[in-house]
């Protein structure tokens, strides 16, 4: 499909961005983009890196012809994008966005992929050919007759990709295409992109996160910061200065560079090294038993068993991570903890007494155990941050000075200044909104806080803020429970880990205790990179331990 | 308490005679049938239509359970009709037996009528349904009625209903977690308590609508202008047969005074 006869000279870049500026509204003080210039050649795979608010989404809209630049020009095949006809533009550039749900227009898979070729006015048989090819290219042929609502998040994003490919475009521009996906969905999407690139497709990927799998395939990197191009160049030159640009190098890359520096061959030179005595993370002195779960069953109907007999103990003053693939029952389990799901079978004890299931006691429970859903910023509704933070404590019966104090407590936990109290939550940045949403649960002063994927979609700086906030809460003696796909964070920060698979508990224990089981439950591609490297070494050196933390790995090999 | 039937009234893909029919044939037949049931006065007619409905469900290969679950919203309307009818006829004359009999007839007639309507989206893919409506409304374009846009809107609405239900459920759970009292107090307190659900939902809908519009534009959507279809509606012999058959049935019912 990509072997298209190109009308234009190959020496002209496919996309030329020349001194492009853009601002939203006249009164806006800052420009979203300021004199951005770069070129992208046919067949290249380019990453545009930038933190939240760097102007990268605006840039996507300009290159895609959705927005017009206030100054400068954007050229496609040497022609000003404004002079291109709507049809020509749409047949050259395809756009894929972060949330697959917002790109799928039809309820059935095939109908959706057909949308673009239908808009191009192709005859039915040719539309069908385009649909079949696009589904094959995205590895979605097996879902051809399925309905969209039956797909997983990763499949939906590949469907969105197929929907764009069916337009037979020359260039794909993707805005954070994997940010909302689980590791499995991310890997499969990445595989598809790599395949398309190998077939000659030009791919421009806008992202805030560097992942090893994708970067091995990327030719060129453009770093965007505060609306300006801070750096651009080849991928291999990027790593020398990445840290100074504010991007962390992936652990695997860091280690391999370290090996090179020391002249070590991986993994051969690690075959016979002496391994120093390992200091295991000492289990924290746990507080009192907070939750005791015995034989918890839950099913939607006879076929759909979600939880199949879970036993678990959760203590105060500990950080527990619940880990498992999508569909393992994690979300259902945590929604039992504050009685959002009623217990069908089994028992849950909270502070020694049975978990209330109805009446006023449930409200008391929900004050004591705060639950933060995935993307909690989507649940804000108040005109000011102060009102938002007052909602939960007010519902819990806080009043007057007590309420004021609770609001300030929530704000303090989030680390946001008191100047935020008067602001409208909708006017804040994504990261700030997430902090407000978490603070709006903490302001009820819960003893126990449960968070579903609290770091999803955030850039590194906000991830650090939230991780250290959770660490502080745990040190205050609260129970912190996080549900996550992110093994690296779970292993590094949590005190204990609970592994679920198909609604059953596989194991529960400290990170070092569960690591073996974890590696069996989760596919290697989703392991922390350091763990992947140490398991490579373990293959030739059985004494070598499974290490998941970068610093610890360095300590372990320091003798060589 | 929460919304669990995410698949309410959604298309159930299957390969049956009913599924394969042209959406226009189904739409017209439905119109005929409704226009026949609506004014019917006899128990026999309701009984016969029930038999026909059962036959259609059987031929469509959709499980009875799904049909019954998908008709859930209809039940409230039917129960309301039942109670309202009893009250209304008791108001006229105090004959309870007659009132119950009358209400039972009225509500079962409504139930059958609505269930015929429920079968349409269950057996027709949203886009096909939209195309069918588009074709039927096309003559109105002469009066500047935006038939394509209307049909597209209905198709998109059907696509986004499950998503919206899912999001509503999630927001409700999140606000309950923050101690919201959604199911307590008098009607005014309940309405007020629902704002924390309604506002995020509206914000979400507007944001999605904007992003969907951008994504559609990016895929070259420019209204109906120059647009073709992957599966153009094809009127076949069986469609004519079904249409003629349903017309004759309706006429027979009419002639027999059923």
Q: In the beta sheet, which residues pair with residue A313?
A: A292
Tell me which DSSP letter residue B224 carries.
B
Rounded to the nearest angstrom, the minimum Cα separation between B75 and chain A is 21
Displacement of CA A399 from its chain's centroid (Å): 38
A37 and chain B: CB distance < 8 Å anywhere? no
C-beta atoms of B178 and A102 within 8 A: no
Determine which helix (DSSP H) or strand (DSSP E) holds B83, and give its type and residue range.
helix B72-92
Region for A346 from its dihedrals, namely left if φ exceeds 0, alpha if ψ lies in -120 to 50, beta otherwise: left
Residue in chain B closest to A119 (alpha carbons) equals B227
**Which positions ≥6 away from A474 have C-beta within 8 Å?**
A317, A318, A319, A480, A495
Nearest CA in chain A to B214: A66
- B56: number of Cβ within 10 Å: 20
Distance CA A234, CA A222 (A): 9
List all residues of chain A from 403 to 432 with a beta carbon under 8 Å from chain B: 426
CB hemisphere CA count around A415 (13 angstroms) = 15
- Please tell me the distance from the alpha carbon of residue B171 to that of residue B177, in angstroms, as a whole number: 10
| Spatial distance between the Cα atoms of A178 and A193, rounded to a whole number of angstroms | 11
For residues B100 and B17, the answer to whether their CB atoms sit within 8 Å is no
CA A182 to chain centroid, in Å, comes to 7
Q: CB-CB: which of B159, B171, B180 is closest to A106?
A: B159
ipTM of the complex: 0.88
Residues forming a β-bridge with A497: A321, A509
Residue of higher predicted confidence among A142 and B163: A142
Whole-number Cα distances in Å, B89 to B10, B97, B104: 37, 10, 12
Query: Measured between CB atoms, does A118 come within 8 Å of chain B?
Result: yes
Instruction: Beginning with the edge strand found earlier in the chain, give each strand of the sheet holding A228-234 in spatial order.
Output: A93-96, A171-175, A202-207, A45-49, A220-225, A228-234
Euclidean distance between CA atoms A48 and A240, whole angstroms: 17
Contact A257, A243 (CB under 8 A): no
Helices A460-475 and A400-414 cross at an angle (nearest 10°) of 130
- B10 vs A: CB within 8 A: yes
Name the residue among A124, A163, A378 with its Cβ closest to that of B230: A124
Residue of A nearest to B225 (CA): A119
Chain mean position to CA A156: 15
pLDDT value of position B47: 92
Tell me which residues of chain A, numbers 343 to 402, contact chain B at a CB-CB cutoff of 8 Å: 363, 366-367, 370-371, 373, 376, 378-381, 391-392, 394-396
Task: Please report the pLDDT score of residue A27 as a whole number.
Answer: 53
From the CB of residue B209, how many other CB atoms can be counted at a distance below 10 Å?
Answer: 13
**Signed CA dihedral, A207, A211, A213, A216: sign only:** positive
Average pLDDT, chain B: 87
* Record: contact B230-A128, CB cut-off 8 A: yes
Per-residue pLDDT of A513-534, as tens digits, reads 899 888 888 888 888 889 988 8
The neighbouring-strand residues paired with B206 are none
User: Are the C-beta atoms of A177 and A56 separated by less than 8 Å?
Assistant: no
Residue at token pair 């291109």:
A84
Mean pLDDT along residues B131-141: 87
For residue A35, the model assigns a pLDDT of 92
Predicted local distance difference test score (pLDDT) of residue A520: 86
Tell me the C-alpha distance between B123 and B22, whole Å: 11
Looking at CA atoms only, how far is residue A158 from chain B in angstroms? 15
Query: A346 — phi, psi (to 5°)?
Result: 105, 180
Instruction: Report the alpha-carbon distance of residue A123 to residue A117 in Å, rounded.
Output: 9
What torsion do the CA atoms of B37, B42, B47, B52 make, to the nearest 10 degrees?
-30
Question: Looking at residue A6, what is its pLDDT?
Answer: 45
| Residue A94 contacts B where some CB pair is shorter than 8 Å | yes
Residues in chain A: 560
pLDDT, position A3: 44
Instruction: Decide if B171 touches A, using CB distance below 8 A.
Output: yes
CA dihedral over A371, A377, A379, A381, signed as positive or negative: positive
Residue A126 is encoded by which pair of tokens?
């040719």
Distance CA(A174)–CA(A214), nearest Å, equals: 13
Q: What is the model's pLDDT at position A29?
A: 59
Measured CA to CA in angstroms, residue B16 lies from A234, B29, B42 at distances of 57, 17, 32
Please state at what angle helix B23-37 crosses helix B96-123, rounded to 10 degrees. Answer: 170
Out of B125, B158, B226, the one facing A121 most closely (by C-beta) is B226
Q: Which two tokens stand for residue A225?
A: 């910061």
Q: Is beta strand A79-80 parallel, antiparallel or unpaired with respect to A93-96?
A: unpaired
Describe the crossing of helices A385-395 and A400-414 by its angle, rounded to 10 degrees.
Answer: 120
Note the pLDDT of residue A201: 95
Structure tokens at B55: 């036959």
C-alpha–C-alpha distance, residues A402 and A408, integer Å: 10
Question: Nearest CA of chain A to the CA of B143: how many Å?
Answer: 25
Tokens of A274: 């002496």
Q: How far apart are CA A79 and CA A87, in angstroms?
A: 14
Residue whose C-alpha is closest to residue A411's, from A430, A427, A392, A383: A392
For residue A117, which residues of chain B lie inside 8 Å, CB to CB?
230
Residue A451: beta bridge partners?
Answer: A372, A482
Q: Which residue shows structure tokens 């933190």? A: A51
Closest CA to A296 of A334, A347, A331, A330: A347
Tokens linked to A406: 């609770």
Cβ neighbours of residue A213 closer than 8 Å, sequence gap 6 or more: A187, A190, A525
Distance CA A320, CA A302 (A): 31
Q: Which of A111, A181, A484 lies closest to A331, judged by CA?
A: A484
Q: For chain A, which residues score pLDDT lower than 50?
A: 1-8
Residue in A with minimal Cα distance to B126? A107
- The 8 Å CB, 24+ separation contacts for A394-401 are A394/B179, A395/A363, A395/A367, A395/A444, A395/B178, A395/B179, A395/B180, A395/B181, A396/A363, A396/A364, A396/A366, A396/A367, A396/A444, A396/B179, A398/A444
pLDDT-above-70 percentage for chain B: 97
- Among A113, A287, A99, A106, CA closest to A180: A99
Q: What is the mean pLDDT of residues B168-192?
A: 86
What does the H/E/C string look like for A485-524?
CCHHHHHHHCCEEEEEECCEEEEEECHHHHHHHHHHHCCH
Answer whether A318's CB lies under 8 Å from A496's CB. Answer: yes
Mean pLDDT within B128-133? 87
Spatial distance between the Cα atoms of A250 and A460, rounded to a whole number of angstroms: 12
Cα distance between residue A14 and residue A175, in whole Å: 18
């Amino acid at each position: 499909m990509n072997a298209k006869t190109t009308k234009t000279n190959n020496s002209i870049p496919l996309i030329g961005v020349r001194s492009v500026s853009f601002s939203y509204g006249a009164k806006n003080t800052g420009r979203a983009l300021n004199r951005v210039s770069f070129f992208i050649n046919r067949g290249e795979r380019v990453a545009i890196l930038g933190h939240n608010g760097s102007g990268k989404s605006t840039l996507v809209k300009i290159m895609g012809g959705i927005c017009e630049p206030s100054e400068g020009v954007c050229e496609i095949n040497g022609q000003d994008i404004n002079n291109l006809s709507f049809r020509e533009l749409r047949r050259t550039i395809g756009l894929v966005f972060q949330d697959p749900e917002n790109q799928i227009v039809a309820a059935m898979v095939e109908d959706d992929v057909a949308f673009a070729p239908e808009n191009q006015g192709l005859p039915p048989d040719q539309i069908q050919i385009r649909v079949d090819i696009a589904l094959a290219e995205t590895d979605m042929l097996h879902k051809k007759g399925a309905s969209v609502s039956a797909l997983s998040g990763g499949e939906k994003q590949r469907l969105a990709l197929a929907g764009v490919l069916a337009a037979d475009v020359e260039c794909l521009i993707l805005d954070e295409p994997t940010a909302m996906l689980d590791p499995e969905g991310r890997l499969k999407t990445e595989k598809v992109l790599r395949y398309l690139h190998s077939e000659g497709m030009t791919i421009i990927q806008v992202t805030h996160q560097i992942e090893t799998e994708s970067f091995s395939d990327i030719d060129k990197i453009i770093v965007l910061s505060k609306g300006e191009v801070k750096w651009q160049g080849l991928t291999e030159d990027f790593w020398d200065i990445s840290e100074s640009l504010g991007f962390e190098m992936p652990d695997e890359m860091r280690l391999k560079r370290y090996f090179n520096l020391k002249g070590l061959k991986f993994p051969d030179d690690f075959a016979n090294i002496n391994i120093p005595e390992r200091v295991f993370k000492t289990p924290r002195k746990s507080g009192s038993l907070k939750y005791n779960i015995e034989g918890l069953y839950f099913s939607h109907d006879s076929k759909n068993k979600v939880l199949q007999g879970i036993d678990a103990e959760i203590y105060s003053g500990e950080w527990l991570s619940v880990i498992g693939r999508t569909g393992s029952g994690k979300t259902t389990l945590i929604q039992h903890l504050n009685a959002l799901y009623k217990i069908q079978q089994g028992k849950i004890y909270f502070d020694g007494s049975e978990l209330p299931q109805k009446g006023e006691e449930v409200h008391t429970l929900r004050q004591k155990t705060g639950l933060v859903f995935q993307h909690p910023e989507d649940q804000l509704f108040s005109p000011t941050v102060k009102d938002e933070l007052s909602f939960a404590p007010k519902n819990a019966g806080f009043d007057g000075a007590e309420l004021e104090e609770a609001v300030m407590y929530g704000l303090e936990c989030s680390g946001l200044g008191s100047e935020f109290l008067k602001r409208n939550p909708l006017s804040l940045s994504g990261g700030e909104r997430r902090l407000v949403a978490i603070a709006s649960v903490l302001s009820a002063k819960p003893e126990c806080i449960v968070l579903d994927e609290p770091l999803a979609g955030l850039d590194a700086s906000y991830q650090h803020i939230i991780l250290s906030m959770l660490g502080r809460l745990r040190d205050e003696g609260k129970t912190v429970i996080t549900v996550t796909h992110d093994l690296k964070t779970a292993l590094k920060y949590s005190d204990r880990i609970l592994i679920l698979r198909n609604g059953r508990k596989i194991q529960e224990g400290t990170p070092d205790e569960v690591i073996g089981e974890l590696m069996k439950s989760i596919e290697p591609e989703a392991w922390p990179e350091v763990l992947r490297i140490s398991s490579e070494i373990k293959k030739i050196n059985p004494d070598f331990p499974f290490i998941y933390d970068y610093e610890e790995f360095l300590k372990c090999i320091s003798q060589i | 308490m929460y919304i669990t039937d995410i698949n309410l009234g959604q298309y159930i893909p299957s390969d049956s005679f009913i599924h394969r029919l042209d959406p226009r044939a189904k739409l017209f037949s439905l119109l005929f049938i409704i226009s026949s049931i609506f004014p019917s006065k006899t128990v026999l007619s309701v009984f016969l239509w029930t038999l026909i409905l059962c036959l259609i469900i059987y031929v469509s290969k959709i499980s009875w359970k799904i049909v019954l679950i998908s008709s859930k919203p209809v039940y409230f309307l039917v129960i309301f009709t039942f109670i309202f009818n009893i009250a209304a006829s008791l108001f006229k004359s105090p004959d309870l037996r007659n009132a119950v009999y009358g209400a039972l007839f009225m509500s079962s007639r409504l139930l059958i009528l609505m269930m015929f309507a429920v079968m349409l989206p269950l057996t027709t893919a949203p886009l096909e349904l939209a195309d069918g409506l588009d074709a039927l409304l096309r003559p109105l374009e002469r009066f500047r009625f935006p038939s394509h846009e209307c049909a597209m809107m209905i198709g998109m609405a059907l696509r986004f209903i499950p998503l919206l239900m899912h999001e509503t459920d999630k927001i409700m759970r999140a606000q309950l977690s923050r101690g919201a009292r959604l199911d307590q107090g008098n009607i005014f307190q309940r309405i007020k308590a629902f704002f924390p659900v309604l506002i995020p939902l509206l914000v979400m809908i507007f944001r999605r609508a904007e992003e969907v519009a951008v994504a559609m534009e990016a895929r070259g959507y420019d209204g109906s202008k120059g647009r073709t279809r992957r599966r153009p509606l094809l009127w076949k012999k069986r469609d004519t047969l079904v249409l003629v058959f349903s017309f004759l049935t309706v006429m027979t019912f009419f002639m027999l005074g059923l």
